[in-house]
Amino acid sequence: MHLTVLGCYAATPRTLTNPTSQVLEINNHVVLIDCGEGTQVELRRHKIKFSRINHIFISHLHGDHFFGLPGFISTMRLLGRDKELHVYGPKGIKEAITLLLKLGDSWTNYPLLFHELTSKETELIFEDDKISVSTIPLDHRVYTNGYLFKEKLGKRKLNVAAVEKYGIDKAYYNNLKNGRDITLDNGSIVPNKELTYDPPKPKSYAFCSDTIYDESLADKVKEVDVLYHESTFLDSEAHLAAKTKHATAKQAAQVAKDANVKTLVLGHYSTRYKSIVLFKEEASTVFPNVLLADDGKTFDF
């Protein structure tokens, strides 16, 4: 599971920082999560091919989370895209994007499919044989969702030495990977567990930005491998967090602790602070395994 942070600062673009956008590579899927201004430039900077992205997940309709989307969609047209592009986001996102396309007489020549969200309860919005994606309802100033990405359990791994020992033909390898036992020519049955290894434990990633501190959020991201949680403010500005419906680094760490996640990634920093290291220092007093997102930073989990 590979995460590329294209932007992770709050509110407005600056010469040295970008608003929220990130690319998650999980089990052969490449998804774009939020699309603030500058996303196209950062995708090119990090040599991420536009054509690999087939699903975009927008958390809410504040500009620093989706104002880069119209340009990205238009560029796909100019690049000659012909396969489907799926956009998931709050009700209204289709109207906002298609109005710009209409006024500019620049309709896409590829299928552009919107999946508008309105539910305030968790719902499964995408699933195939490799991953599932569910919403994480958040409490912000407008309708907002986080997203929970989960890998599906993969096929079992062959124990090559054991398979060769029993002289099993390659024609049966796929059956073994699917968990089936093998019957030898002499009629004896070899249990699958003797011929294969368990597949790697599926990984999970929860994206939560923007939201006020919510104790119940921990139940929605229980024991995920990686939790990205906004930390717009430090505890000294907790009053501003409550007023604007954002969270502090310490509050993000409390969610991570209560949810028993493996790793917490902080982001969506207010630019009022001199160093983002302050966010890690504060969060680490509550939860030990804290990483700092930053523009251009990549993580392998």
- Active site residue ranges: 64
DSSP 68-89: THHHHHHHHHHTT--S-EEEEE
| Burial class of 13 by CB neighbour count within 10 A (0 to 12, 13 to 18, 19+) | middle
DSSP 138-162: E-SSS-EEEEEEEEPP-PPEE-HHH
Task: Check the annotation: does 115 bind a ligand.
Answer: no
Q: How many CB atoms lie within 10 A of CB 50?
A: 15
Task: Check the annotation: does 258 bind a ligand.
Answer: no
Q: What is the radius of gyration, based on Cα positions, of the chain?
A: 22
Task: Check the annotation: does 140 bind a ligand.
Answer: yes
Task: Check the annotation: does 86 bind a ligand.
Answer: no
Distance CA 292, CA 277 (A): 8
Give the DSSP H or E segment for 220: helix 217-220
Whether the CB-CB separation of 7 and 20 falls below 8 Å is answered with yes
Task: Check the annotation: does 60 bind a ligand.
Answer: yes
CA distances to 11, 219, 253, 263 from 290, in Å = 23, 19, 8, 6
* Residues in the annotated binding site for Zn(2+): 60, 62, 64-65, 140, 210, 268
* Residues in the annotated binding site: 60, 62, 64-65, 140, 210, 268
